[in-house]
Structure 1
C-alpha cells in the first residue's frame, strides 16, 4: 500500500475500534440474549463486506470485522479468542495444507512440466476453436467436476485456465463460469456429499421426513424445483456462447477489454494467483507429455471421487496429497532433476499465500459471526414475516442474506433447515409446498455462498482462475442476482398455482 493509503486505513481502524466500543457500551447491548447479540450480531459481517466493496481491500476489511466482533463480544484479545482457534482448527489446516499448498504445489509443478498447458492444447484441438468454445469447455469441466464447492473450483479452474488464457477469455468471465457451476451443479447432479448432509439436517424435523432415508428421497424430489441452480447453470452456459439475455455492466466491460486489448485482468487488478503459478518454466531437455497432466488428475479423481460410486466414501485430502506426489514421481521418472521439481512445488505454494491469508481471515470472521449468533438473529428478526404464498421466496431471500454474510452454504443449511421445515409444515402441510420451501433454502444458500467475498468457493474461484477477488465478486453479482430474482418469482407463481 502507498503511504497515503496506510494513513487512510489507520483512521478507518481507529474509527472501527471506537465505534465498536461505543456500540457495545450503549443501549444496543441490552438486546443481547443467550443466542445472539441483537442487531450488534450483524456488525462484523456488514462492516467487512461494506469495506471490501468500498475499498477493494479484502484482507484489512476482514481483519477489521474480526476486531469489531471481538470488541462487541467482549473478547478483545482476538488472537486468543478467535485467531488461534480458527487458524489452528482442523478445518483451516485442511484448507491450508490440502486445498492451498497441495493445489499451489501441483500447479507449480505443472509450470515446470508444462502438463496443464499440454492438456489444454490437446483438449483445445478437440473442443476449443475460439473464445466461445473455450468458455464452453470451462462450463463443461465445471459440470463434470460436480462435487461442489472448493474441489470443483480447483479442478475446473486449474484445468481450463491455460486454454482460456490462450483464447483471451477474461479472468472475470472464467471465474464466474467456474464459480457458478460449482455449488449449483452439486445440487443438481447429487453424486456427492450434499444430499447426505442435507438429509441429516432435515431428518425428523417434520412428519413428512421422519428419517434420513426419506430426507434423501426428499432431496432428489426437490431437484426440479431448485430454480436458482438451474437458472445459474443456464446463465453460465449462455454466457459461454455469448448469448446471455443479461450481462452486467462490469462483465460487459471485461469482455470488451479482453477483446480489444487482450488484457485478461483490468489495469490495477490484484489477482490472487501470483506469477509463480502463471509463468511456465520447463527445463531444457524435458519433454512435456499428456502424462504430466493425466497422471496427477487421474490420481485426484481416482482416489478422491470414484470411490464415492464404489464404497460411498470420498478421500479428498488423500487424493490431493497423492496427486502432488504422483506429479513429482512422473516428472522424476521422465528425467527432471529433483531440484527443479522441488522448486516448482515451492514456487506454487508461495503463489497461493494471499489466498491462504484471506481464507484464514474468512474462517475467523465466520467463527466470530457464529459466536455473536449472526444467523440466529437474522432468522429471529424476520420470522414474523409469514405470508404463505411468499414463504418460499422469503426463505430464499433470507438464506441469500445469511450465506452472503457468513460465507457458507452448509453453515446456512445447518441454521435454516431445522427452523424452516417445521415452520413451512405448520403454515401448509402440503408436500408440494414443503418441497418448494426446501428447494428455496437450498438455492438461496447457494447464491449467498457463491457471491460472498468471504466464501471459500468465491476465493478459490478467483485463485484458480487468476482473477482479482473483488473484480470477480462485482462482475458475478448482477447475473447471479437476476437468477435469484427470477427464482423467487417462480417460487411465488408455483406456490400460488400448485399449493
Structure 2
C-alpha cells in the first residue's frame, strides 16, 4: 500500500480489470466465493468452540498460533482488501488466546500506546494536513513549474525531471504519485513522453523512494511493528534507528530507483517488455501519448488545485514547509550520527519536523493573505484523505499484539528455525512479501502480517546483525515490489490517474522493469547471505 489506501479506488480498479464474467452472476465463481466464506466461518466457529481450552506450551499454542496471521493473509489474498482481513485475524487470535473481548484485550492496548500516537500524529495530521495545505497554496505545483524551466529540453530531460520530482515528493506512495504525476504531466505531454513511460516513472519513484529517503512516516511505522520482536530492537526508537542503518541493504528500492534513472536518460542496455518499447516508439514517431484502444483514467480531479481566487502561489509556499521539514529531520540526525558519533542513538526529530512544516505552511499562507478558514479547510481535507490509512495502521499494530499474545513467532521459530538454510531466507522472505503485497495491493498491510514472524525467525536462524539486516531489507523491499506491480494498489491506480494512463497498460508496461529490479535484489540478498552466516 502505499501507506494511505483508498477503498473506493481499489474497488474501482477491480471493476476496471475484471473480466465480463466477473460482472455477471457466474454460478461457478459464486460457489467458489461461498466456499471460502464457509471455510472462514468454520475456522472461526471451530476456534470459538475451543476458546480458552487450547493448551499453551513454551509461549505458544502450537499450530493454533499460526491461525491469526494465516487467516489474515489468506483472506487478504482472496478478498484483496486488507481491512477486513486484518480484523478477522484479530478476532481469530482472540478466541485462540481465550480473549473473546478483543477490543479490551488487544485493540485498546495497541492503539492506546505512545508509539501509535506518534504514528497517528505524523501520518494522519501532519502528513495529510501538509498535502491539504498545498492544494490551497499551490506551492508544490508552483515549484514544479519553476524547476522544469531549468531542466526540461526534450523527452529524456522531461523523464529525468519526473524522476527528480519523485525524489523531492518522497513522503510516501500515494503522496508521491499525486504530487509528482499532477505536476509533471503537462510538461512531459509537451515533449511527447508516452503516458506509459510517465506512469512508470511516477510509480517507481514513489514507495521505493520513500523507503530510501525515509524522512517521513515509514521508519516510524516499521519501527513500531518490529519493536520487541528481537533483542536488536526492544523499543520503537531502536526499530527506527535500525531502519536507517539498513538503508544500504534495501536492494529492491535501490535497484528500482537506479533503473528508473537509467530509463529516464534512455541509458539502459535494453528496455524489457515489448509494450514499453512500443509506447516509446509510438510517442516519439506519432505524438500519440496513449495507444489507440486505451481507456485512460481521468486525472482532472487530481490536477485541479483549490487555490483561493485572490491568492498568489509562490516558491515560498513550497520551500518554506519542505525546507523546514528536511532541515529539522536531517540536520540533527547527521550531526549526532556523523559528528558526535552517536551511531546507536542518533537524534531523530521526524514528528517534530512534520508538525513544524505544517505550522510553517499555514503561517506562510496566512501571512500572504489567505483566510484562516481556507487554510484550515485545506488542512482538514488533507487529514480526511488519509483516514483509511489510519484505520489500517490501527488494525496492523493490533494484529501484531495478537501475534505476540498467541506466540506466532515463537512457534514458527521452534518449527522452522533448524530447518531453513540461512542463505535462502532473505530471498524467500522477499518472495513471500511480493506475493502478499501483489495480492492485497498494500506494502504496509504486508509489513503488519510478516514482520512479527520474519524477524524472530531470522534471529533463530542466525542472530548475526548483518544477517538480520538482510532479512529486514528483504521484507521492506519485497513488500514495495509487490505493491508497485499490483493492479489493485493505490499507488498503481493513482499513478495511472495522475498521468492519465490506461490502468492495465501501466501495469503490463512497468512489470518487466520492476521485475528486473526484483531479480537483481534477490540475487544480491542470496550472494551476501553467504558472507552473513
1:382 Cα offset (Å): 2.4
1:340-489 matched pairs, under 5 angstroms? 340-385=374-419, 387=421, 391-398=422-429, 401=432, 406-407=447-448, 415-416=456-457, 418-422=459-463, 437=467, 440-451=470-481, 483-489=517-523
Contact 2:409–2:456 (8 Å) recurs in 1: yes
> Is residue 59 of structure 1 aligned with residue 83 of structure 2?
yes
How big is each residue's C-alpha offset from its partner over 1:351-375, in whole Å with a ceiling of 9 and x where there is no partner?
Answer: 2222222222222223323333333
SS of residue matched to 1:181: helix
Contact 2:455–2:471 (8 Å) recurs in 1: no
1:20 Cα offset (Å): 2.4
How big is each residue's C-alpha offset from its partner over 1:40-94, in whole Å with a ceiling of 9 and x where there is no partner?
Answer: 3333333333333433333223322222222333222222122222232222222
> Is residue 38 of structure 1 aligned with residue 50 of structure 2?
no
Contact 1:104–1:348 (8 Å) recurs in 2: yes
> Is residue 89 of structure 1 aligned with residue 108 of structure 2?
no
More displaced, 18-27 or 326-335?
A: 18-27
Contact 1:229–1:443 (8 Å) recurs in 2: no
1:74-223 matched pairs, under 5 angstroms? 74-128=98-152, 133=157, 136-137=160-161, 139-140=163-164, 151=171, 160-166=180-186, 167=188, 168=195, 174-184=202-212, 223=248
> Is residue 292 of structure 1 aligned with residue 317 of structure 2?
yes
Distance 1:111 1:13 in 2: 42
TM-score (norm 2): 0.65
How big is each residue's C-alpha offset from its partner over 1:267-294, in whole Å with a ceiling of 9 and x where there is no partner?
Answer: 6x9x9xx96x764111112111111111
Contact 2:136–2:375 (8 Å) recurs in 1: yes
Q: Residues 158 and 262 (structure 1 numbering): CA distance in 2 closer, same or farther, change over 3 Å?
A: farther
Aligned length, in residue pairs:
452
1:350 Cα offset (Å): 1.5
Q: Residues 159 and 264 (structure 1 numbering): CA distance in 2 closer, same or farther, change over 3 Å?
A: farther
TM-score (norm 1): 0.69
In structure 2, which of residues 18, 37, 40 is the aligned counterpart of residue 16 of structure 1?
Answer: 40
Structure 1's unaligned 5+ residue stretches are 205-211, 425-433
In structure 2, which of residues 333, 354, 361 is the aligned counterpart of residue 308 of structure 1?
Answer: 333
More displaced, 297-306 or 482-491?
A: 482-491
Q: Which residue of 2 aligns with 1:260?
A: 290
Distance 1:477 1:34 in 2: 44
Contact 1:392–1:488 (8 Å) recurs in 2: no
SS of residue matched to 1:361: helix
Distance 1:377 1:367 in 2: 15
How big is each residue's C-alpha offset from its partner over 1:221-265, in whole Å with a ceiling of 9 and x where there is no partner?
Answer: x95x77555434434434555759686899999999994279999
SS of residue matched to 2:312: coil
SS of residue matched to 2:310: coil
1:326 Cα offset (Å): 0.8
Contact 1:180–1:236 (8 Å) recurs in 2: no
Q: Residues 62 and 492 (structure 1 numbering): CA distance in 2 closer, same or farther, change over 3 Å?
A: closer
Q: Residues 51 and 105 (structure 1 numbering): CA distance in 2 closer, same or farther, change over 3 Å?
A: same
1:325 Cα offset (Å): 0.9
How big is each residue's C-alpha offset from its partner over 1:129-187, in whole Å with a ceiling of 9 and x where there is no partner?
Answer: 577655544544666788xxxx5658855753432444457667524422123335669
More displaced, 392-401 or 317-326?
A: 392-401
Structure 2's unaligned 5+ residue stretches are 1-7, 12-23, 189-194, 337-345, 437-445
Q: Residues 493 and 153 (structure 1 numbering): CA distance in 2 closer, same or farther, change over 3 Å?
A: closer
Q: Residues 186 and 397 (structure 1 numbering): CA distance in 2 closer, same or farther, change over 3 Å?
A: farther
1:411 Cα offset (Å): 5.4
Q: Residues 12 and 447 (structure 1 numbering): CA distance in 2 closer, same or farther, change over 3 Å?
A: same
SS of residue matched to 1:283: coil
1:36 Cα offset (Å): 3.0
How big is each residue's C-alpha offset from its partner over 1:325-356, in whole Å with a ceiling of 9 and x where there is no partner?
Answer: 11111111111111111111112211222222
Q: Which residue of 2 aligns with 1:322?
A: 356
Q: Residues 245 and 101 (structure 1 numbering): CA distance in 2 closer, same or farther, change over 3 Å?
A: farther
Aligned alpha-carbon RMSD (Å): 5.3
How big is each residue's C-alpha offset from its partner over 1:459-499, in whole Å with a ceiling of 9 and x where there is no partner?
Answer: 8967996979x99x988887666645444445556777999
More displaced, 82-91 or 163-172?
A: 163-172
Contact 1:379–1:398 (8 Å) recurs in 2: no
SS of residue matched to 1:182: helix
Distance 2:322 2:294 in 1: 26
SS of residue matched to 2:470: helix
SS of residue matched to 1:281: coil
Q: Which residue of 2 aligns with 1:334?
A: 368
Distance 2:331 2:102 in 1: 42
More displaced, 282-291 or 406-415?
A: 406-415
More displaced, 257-266 or 411-420?
A: 257-266
SS of residue matched to 2:306: coil
